[in-house]
Amino acid sequence: MAKATARHILVATEAKCNELKAQIEGGADFAEIAKANSTCPSSRDGGNLGSFGPGQMVKEFDTVVFSAPINVVQGPVKTQFGYHLLEVTSRQD
């Protein structure tokens, strides 16, 4: 069964998500941005979500996590929780 590890940043608006993505692409540390801005409890751990399989996260999340390139920030990804930046840190298919 496929497994992935990922980290994310959750914010309320697409504009904030794009602003944070630009900071990360400009060299800011993903984990530090997550700690300072993400509204998810995972922010305490730099946005780290640990390891999970297909179907364990919301559909929009799964679609990105199991198709996106490794170590490339994806997003904004809209879910019922808000807007996410996602980074897949490893994946086994």
SS3 40: coil
Task: Work out the average pLDDT over 35-54.
Answer: 97
- Which residue from 79, 41, 39, 42 is spatially nearest to 62, judged by alpha carbons? 79
pLDDT given at position 1: 83
Q: What is the pLDDT of residues 57-85, one digit of tens each?
A: 999 999 999 999 999 999 999 999 999 99
Please provide the CATH number assigned to the domain covering 3-92.
Answer: 3.10.50.40
Cβ burial of 11 (10 Å; 0-12, 13-18, 19+) is: buried
Place of tokens 């809209």: 78
| pTM (predicted TM-score) | 0.95
Percent with pLDDT over 70 in the chain: 100
Going from N- to C-terminal start, the domains of the chain cover 3-92
Place of tokens 């309320």: 12
